[in-house]
Amino acid sequence: MRRNWMAVLCTVLTAVFLAALVHAQDTERKESKQVTCTGKVVDEPGRPMANVKVSLHEMVYDEATYTYDPKTLGEVQTGTDGVFSFNETVKDNQYRYGYIVAVKEGLALGFDNWTMQDGDKELEIKLGQPKELAGIVVDDKDSPVSDARVAVSILALGDGSERKNLNSPVVPKLLTVNTDATGKFSFTHIPAGATAEFIVEKSGKATVSTYKRTSEPYQKLNFTEGQKDIRLVLPVEAKIEGMAVEKSTGQPVGGVKISCTSRQETGYVRPKPFASKHDGTFSIDALAATRYVIAILQSNRELPDWVANPVEVFTEAGKTNSNVKIELSKGGVLEVKVTDAVKKEPVKEVSVGIQHPVSGLYKSSRSNENGIAMLRLMPGDYQVYSVYKEGYSQQRLQDKITIEEGEIKHLEYELIGMPTLTGIVRDKEGQPIEGAIIHVCPTGRDACTSNAEGKFEAVFDPGGWMSNQVPLMFLVGTHGPRNLAAALQIGEDTRKLDLVLEPAVTLCGRVVDQDGRGIANAQVRVWMRASSWGSTMRTHEPVQTDNEGGFEFKAIPRGQKYTFYVSAEGYGENPRDDFDTAGLKGNRLDVGKLTLAIANLSVSGVVVDASDKPVAGASVYCSGEGQAHSQAVTDTEGKFTLEKVCAGKIRISADKSDVTRLYGYIETEGGATDVRIVISERPSSTRYEPRRPASLVGRPLPELKDVGVDLPMAETDGKMMLVCFFDMEQRPSRHCVTQLAKQAEQLNGKGVTIVAVQASKMEQDTLNKWKNEYNIPFPVGMIESDADKARFTWGIHSLPWLILTDSEHIVRTAGFQVNQLDEKIGEMTNVER
3-class SS letters over 502-553 = EECEEEEEEEECCCCCECCCCEEEEEEECCCCEEECCCCCCEECCCCCEEEE
Cα–Cα distance for residue pair 729/787, rounded to 1 Å: 15
**Amino acid at residue number 236:** V
Considering 97-111, 255-269, 709-723, the range whose residues carry the highest mean pLDDT is: 97-111
CATH number of the domain located at residue range(s) 601-682 in this protein: 2.60.40.1120
Least confident range from 298-302, 534-538, 671-675, 748-752: namely 298-302
Give the mean pLDDT of 73-84: 96
Rounded-to-integer distance, Cα 246 and Cα 462, Å: 46
Question: Between 3.30.1450.10, 2.60.40.10, 2.40.50.140, 3.40.50.10490, what CATH number should domain 332-415 receive?
Answer: 2.60.40.10
Q: Stretch 325-329: mean pLDDT, rounded?
A: 96
pLDDT of residue 287: 92
Beta strand residue intervals within 557-618, DSSP E: 561-567, 579-580, 588-595, 601-608
* pLDDT at residue 63, rounded to an integer: 67
Model pLDDT, residue 29: 38
Is residue 747 within 8 Å of 720, Cβ to Cβ? no
Domain coordinates in residue numbering, the chain: 1-235, 238-328, 332-415, 601-682, 704-832
> Is residue 65 very low, low, confident or very high in pLDDT (cuts 50, 70, 90)?
low
The Cα 645–Cα 654 span in angstroms is 16
- Residue 759, pLDDT > 50, answer yes
Distance CA 90, CA 97 (A): 11
Whether 177 and 147 have beta carbons less than 8 Å apart is answered as no
Least confident of 217-231, 255-269, 287-301, 533-547: 255-269
Question: What is the average pLDDT across 566-580?
Answer: 87
Average confidence (pLDDT) over 524-544: 89
Question: In angstroms, rounded to a whole number, what is the distance separating the alpha carbons of residues 266 and 270?
Answer: 12
> Quick one: pLDDT band at residue 218, thresholds 50, 70, 90?
low
**CATH annotation of 1-235:** 2.60.40.10
Note the pLDDT tens digit of each residue in 468-516: 567 889 999 999 999 999 999 998 778 999 999 999 999 999 999 999 9
Q: Amino acid letter at 367?
A: S
Tell me the per-residue pLDDT of 585-624, one tens digit each, with 9 for 90 and over. 889 999 999 999 999 999 999 999 988 999 988 889 998 8
Q: Which residue has the higher pLDDT, 787 or 240?
A: 240
Segment 154-174 mean pLDDT: 89
**CA nearest 800: which of 722, 692, 703, 711?**
722
Q: CA-to-CA distance for 732 and 647, rounded, in angstroms? A: 46
Partners of 614 in the β-ladder = 608
* Confidence category of residue 64, pLDDT binned at 50, 70, 90: low
Distance, CA of 309 to CA of 454 (rounded, Å) = 56
Per-residue HEC secondary structure of 139-202 comes to: ECCCCECCCCEEEEEEEEECCHHHCEEECCCCCHHHHEEECCCCCEEEEEEECCCCEEEEEEEC
Q: What is the pLDDT, as a whole number, of residue 357?
A: 75
C-alpha to C-alpha distance for 717 and 715, rounded to whole angstroms? 6
699 three-state secondary structure: coil
The pLDDT tens digits for 655-708 are: 887 667 789 999 999 999 989 999 987 543 333 334 446 678 888 999 999 899
d(CA 745, CA 587): 59
- For residue range 776-785, list pLDDT tens digits in order: 999 999 998 8
Rounded CA separation 816/158 (Å): 53
Q: What is the pLDDT of residues 5-29, one digit of tens each?
A: 444 344 333 333 333 333 333 333 3
Q: Which option is the CATH number for 704-832: 3.30.450.20, 3.40.30.10, 3.20.10.10, 3.40.50.300?
A: 3.40.30.10
Concatenating the DSSP letter of every residue in 629-671 gives: P-EEE--TTSEEEEEEE-SSEEEEEEEEESSSEEEEEEEEETT
Q: Minimal CA–CA distance to 482: which of 436, 527, 450?
A: 436
Say whether pLDDT at 396 is over 60.
yes
Residue 163: closest CA among 120, 121, 111: 111
One fold for 1-235 and 704-832:
no
Cα Dmax for the chain: 97
Q: What is 238-328's CATH number, 3.40.190.10, 3.30.420.10, 2.60.40.10, 3.40.640.10?
A: 2.60.40.10
Mean of pLDDT over the chain: 87
What pTM value is reported for the model?
0.69
User: Is the confidence at residue 94, as pLDDT, over 60?
Assistant: yes
pLDDT > 90: what percent of the chain?
59
| Interatomic CA distance for residues 595 and 412, integer angstroms | 51
